[in-house]
Structure 1
Amino acid sequence: MTSANDARAFALLPLLGAIASQVAFVTGVLYYFGWAYSRAFFEHFGVSAGTLGFTTQDYILFSVGAMFLPLLTTLFWILGLLAVRRLPVWHALRSGRPRKTLRWYVRLAAVGGVLLIAVVAVITSTPTPFAAPLAEAAPFLLIAGAAMIGYATWLLWRYPAVLGIRRPSRTVMQVRTIALVAIVMIGYIWAVAAFADRKGRDDAVYQEAVHFVDRPAIVVFSVDRLGIEGAGAQVGEITAPNEKYRYVYSGLWLLVRTSDRYYLLPQQWKAKQDRVFVIKDSDSIRIDIARNP
């Protein structure tokens, strides 16, 4: 026999499942954003992000600050659309011809949504003179198209009496909803990837333009001579007796540190002209890190 507490516990399961699915989706988006961002950022310096050994946590941390604006914008759009979703119904009921007016809104939303998705299909599959200008807008057009079709479907389900139709079956509605949600998710991930790639490249170019002012300064002490030279990097020889390290390298900024390597930039690094120096952590190397003045 099921008690009241057991019934309440079972009733919470769908809610917990929905929350878990949302958390998983957000985590996946953050991970993908962090991966796309880091790939674009380090590619500017000629370093493959895949060789840096970043973990899932690293990718999520890369995305947290940069993803705040897109997630906030998404939330505002959702709240705004929820707030105005009944305006067509309100207008139809007060127009004196509710059935005709609301049918017009349904047709407009459905046809508009189909046209937007068709435009995206043309952009992605057929090279045309109009494809390039619309390429950046394609994921947003895809999301908008799915949302408009979803709105038309919602009106058919919610107001069949006003429209003078029979309400669609629950199975049909579920299939449509799943398909439209899948399209929206594809468009959203597509948009996130494009934004992350653009931001990663922009941040890398900005770092170069401001001469890496927020990067730590690095001084490398080495037993043996290293191939670090040019573009502001300086080398000195330590002649004091009984010193383990014989060479010191300065004029370097830290690009990134992995578990066993330091990726260093010379002070006046320029894209496609200068190298990134990779120093493996070992007993013959000492790395001093200082705040960039």
Structure 2
Amino acid sequence: MTNANDERAFALLPLLGALASQVAFLTGVLYYFGWAYSRAFFGYFGVPAGTLGFSTQDYVLFSVGTMFVPLLATLLAILVLLAARRLPAWHALVSGRPRDTLRWWVRAFALAGTLLIVAVAVLVYVPTPFAAPLSVEAPFLLIAGAAMIGYASWLRWRYPTVLGVRRTPRTVMQVRTIALVAVAMIGYVWAVAAFAERKGHDDAVHQEAVRFVDRPAIVVFSVDRLGIEGSGAQVGELTEPNGRYRYVYSGLWLLARTSDRYYLLPQQWQAKRDRVFVLEDNDSIRIDIARNP
């Protein structure tokens, strides 16, 4: 026998499952965004992001600030679509010919959505002169196509009497919905990855343009001479009699820090001209970090 408290607890299970799936999806999107962003950002400096050993938490944190714009745009688009979803029914009602008008809306959305998805498939699989100019818009076209077909299907299911058609079986409707949602999610992840890569590349270019004002300044003390020179990096010898370190390197910015390595940029680093210096963290060096003046 179950009491009222048990029934309420069981009633919450679907809600908790839905929330868990949404959190898992959001975490996956943030991780993918952070991975694409870091790959583009560090790749601009010639450093493969995979060598930096970032964790899932690191990738999620990379995406927190830069994902604000895509998430805000997604929420606004959802609100606009929810507000406009009754427009075809209202238009059919006031037109005086509800069946013909609503059928026109259904056919228009179904045809437009199909054409958009076919166009994206052609752009992806068939080399054409239009593929490169539309590479940025392609994922949004895919999302729009899936949304239009889904909306046309919903209109047929919602207003079968007005349209003069038989209502689609619920099982068929559910399978169709899952397929269209999967297509839309592919487009969304595709769009997020493309945005992340552009954002990472643009941030790297901006860092170079402003001379890395946001990066910490690094001074390296070393027992042995290191191969750090040129492009603003400076080396000096320490003459302290009992000092452990003999060389000091300045004019360096910190690009990244891993558990056992420092990735350093010379002060006047330029793409395709300068290198990134990689120092292993061991007892033969000392790293001092300061604010970039």
TM-score normalised by L of structure 2: 0.99
Partner secondary structure for residue 150 of structure 2: helix
**CA distance in 2 between partners of 1:177 and 1:270 (Å):** 50
**CA distance in 1 between partners of 2:208 and 2:285 (Å):** 27
* Structure 2 residue 89 is matched with structure 1 residue 120: no
CA apart distance, 1:134: 1.2
User: 1:113-262, aligned counterparts within 5 Å?
Assistant: 113-262=113-262
User: 1:62-81, aligned counterparts within 5 Å?
Assistant: 62-81=62-81
Partner of 1:84: 84
**CA distance in 1 between partners of 2:95 and 2:187 (Å):** 35
**CA distance in 1 between partners of 2:234 and 2:212 (Å):** 17
**How large is the RMSD of aligned CA atoms in angstroms?**
0.6
Partner secondary structure for residue 23 of structure 1: helix
Could you report, residue by residue, the CA deviation over 1:212-243 in whole angstroms, capped at 9, with x for unpaired residues? 00100000000111000000000000011000
The total of aligned residue pairs comes to 293
**CA distance in 1 between partners of 2:145 and 2:219 (Å):** 55
Give unmatched runs, 5+ long, in structure 1: none
CA apart distance, 1:74: 0.3
**CA distance in 2 between partners of 1:172 and 1:178 (Å):** 10
CA apart distance, 1:94: 1.2
Partner secondary structure for residue 220 of structure 1: strand
**CA distance in 2 between partners of 1:132 and 1:246 (Å):** 54
CA apart distance, 1:166: 1.3
**CA distance in 2 between partners of 1:252 and 1:237 (Å):** 17
Partner of 1:59: 59
Percent identical pairs in the alignment equals 80
Give unmatched runs, 5+ long, in structure 2: none
Partner of 1:109: 109
Deviating more after overlay: 24-33 vs 156-165? 156-165
CA apart distance, 1:4: 1.3
Partner of 2:265: 265
CA apart distance, 1:33: 0.4
Partner secondary structure for residue 289 of structure 1: strand
**CA distance in 1 between partners of 2:103 and 2:45 (Å):** 56
**CA distance in 2 between partners of 1:157 and 1:11 (Å):** 27
Q: Which amino acid aligns with 2:238?
A: I
TM-score normalised by L of structure 1: 0.99
Could you report, residue by residue, the CA deviation over 1:128-155 in whole angstroms, capped at 9, with x for unpaired residues? 1122111111100000000000000111
Partner secondary structure for residue 132 of structure 1: coil
Could you report, residue by residue, the CA deviation over 1:158-200 in whole angstroms, capped at 9, with x for unpaired residues? 1111112111000110110000000000000000111111111
Q: Which amino acid aligns with 1:133?
A: P
Partner of 2:40: 40
Could you report, residue by residue, the CA deviation over 1:238-264 in whole angstroms, capped at 9, with x for unpaired residues? 011000011000000000100111100
Moved over 2 A (4+): none
